[in-house]
Amino acid sequence: MNNNDMMEKEEIFSKVLRAGRRTYFFDVRATKAGDYYLTVTESKKFTNDDGSYHYKKHKIYLYKEDFSEFREILEEMTDYIINEKGDEVISERHQKDFKKDYLDEVVAENVEVVHNSADKFTDIDFDDI
């Protein structure tokens, strides 16, 4: 195992966040110089047609010199989302009748459009043409 692999495996402090099919790993690691940095890994489970599964992982590395700006932007973006959409989760996965509610709303809108256009219907006698 080379030196980079050893450094990748040395975790100083770790936390795990499980979120449905996704798992987030927050790991403090050490640089060669002995300073610390943070890795955030998203691991997502995928199930194959035959029932077997595999994971896809994405990792970001955050170094101390970027913490302040990263934290500010992350806070700004999360605040924006909460302010615009609230903290209620709206998705098919988290709301069992999400599709039903959405489809009911679309059908109701279309019925209203048809109803309103029926009010404006003009009877045409084709014998006049």
Question: What is the 3-state secondary structure of 71-98?
Answer: HHHHHHHHHHHHHHHCCCCCCCCCCCCH
Q: Which two tokens stand for residue 85?
A: 């959409």
Q: Say if domain 3-87 classifies as CATH 3.40.1350.10.
A: no
pLDDT on residue 5: 53
pLDDT on residue 7: 47
Instruction: Tell me the whole-structure pTM to 2 decimals.
Output: 0.59
Residue spans per domain, the chain? 3-87, 89-119
Helix (H) or strand (E) holding 39: strand 36-47
Strand order in the sheet with 36-47: 11-19, 22-30, 36-47, 53-63
The segments of the chain whose pLDDT lies below 50 read 1, 7, 113-115
- Torsion over CA: 92, 97, 103, 108 (sign): negative
Q: Which two tokens stand for residue 111?
A: 């019925």
pLDDT on residue 111: 53
The three-class DSSP label of residue 123 is coil
pLDDT on residue 21: 84
